[in-house]
Structure 1
Amino acid sequence: MDDYVIKPDYHDPDLAVILGVTEEDGDEENIRIAFVDHLKEHLGEDPYLLPATLTDYCNEKDIKSYTYEYADLSFEHQY
């Protein structure tokens, strides 16, 4: 996964990283995310992990994750 998203209806949205996508009730997609600020608390200023290890790392370190409906998030390119 590892794409970046924000939740644009927040007053000051935080950048998040996608941990996974699930389908609920047929075709509704839910996106599981971890906020970059939470990752920085564990990984320092460069919170990048390989996508294949990110979810396991979050689970092992008890980094909070959140699930939102696909339509509630906005995908943002990071350079």
Structure 2
Amino acid sequence: MSPATAVDLIRDGMSLIVLMALVIIGPGLIVGLIVSVFQAATQINEQTLSFLPRLIVTLLVIMVMGPWMLDRLLDHFNGILMDIPGLIG
């Protein structure tokens, strides 16, 4: 296996990880920002008010996007598995 091939495999894996993390974390960040703006406007300083909506949105995103993320992960794994003979020889 050449160093360029190894770098390509690592780059593809890292980009997949970043994409999956962004799908899960992104909506939670947006909801957290909206709740923070609401808290600042109303001067409500309750920590649990920002935690619960982010938790619910994160769980909903995992439930909705989970099959898609699993498909992408399995496609990546199967691609690497099928390329093993070509990478070794």
Question: Which category of TM-score, normalised to the shorter sequence, fits these structures?
Answer: under 0.3
Output the TM-score relative to the length of structure 2. Answer: 0.25
Please report the TM-score for the alignment, with normalisation by the length of structure 1. 0.27
Higher helix share: 2
Flag the structure with larger Rg: 2
